[in-house]
A and B are shown apart, each in its own frame.
Chain A
Amino acid sequence: MTTQELTQRCSNQGTRTEEEHTHYYQPATDVRETDEEVLLLLDMPGVSNDHIDLVVEKGTLTVTGQTDPEEQGEPVYRETRVGDYRRTFSLSDDVDTDHISAEMKAGVLTVRIPKPEKAKPRRIEIARA
Chain B
Amino acid sequence: MLLNQLYPFFDVSKTFDEIDRFFGTANRPSRFRKVPQGAFPTINVYDHEDETVVVAEIPGIDPDVLEVTVLRDTVTLKGKRPNGAEEDQRVHRRERGTGTFSRTLTLPDAVNPDTVQARYENGILRVTLEKAAEAKAKKIAVQS
Q: Which residues of A contact B (CB under 8 A)?
A: 28-35, 39, 41, 43-48, 68, 71-82, 105-108
Contact = CB atoms under 8 A, between A and B. Distances in A.
Interface in B30-44: 30-31, 34-35, 39, 42-44
A80 B123 contact: no
B60 A106 contact: yes
A4 B93 CA distance: 33
B35 A79 contact: yes
Contacts of A29: 93, 95-96
B126 interface: yes
Contact of B46 (A41, A46, A72, A105): A72
Contact of B92 (A32, A68, A77): A32
A43 B96 contact: yes
Contact of B93 (A30, A48, A78, A81): A30
B128 to A, nearest CB: 10
A33 to B, nearest CB: 5
A105 B60 CA distance: 7
Q: Which of A31, A46, A79, A80 has the most CB of B within 10 A?
A: A79
Contacts of B55: 71
B28 to A, nearest CB: 7
Given A32-B91, A79-B34, A106 B122 contact: yes
A79 B59 contact: no
B91 A81 contact: no
Contacts of B47: 73-76
Query: Which 7 A-B pairs have CB atoms at the shortest separation, nearest pair first?
Result: A107-B123, A107-B59, A45-B123, A73-B46, A108-B60, A45-B57, A31-B93
A31 B35 CA distance: 25
Contacts of A44: 59, 123
Q: Which of A41, A72, A105 has the most CB of B within 10 A?
A: A41
6 contacts: A45-B59, A47-B123, A71-B126, A81-B30, A106-B123, A107-B123
Contact of B91 (A30, A76, A82): A30
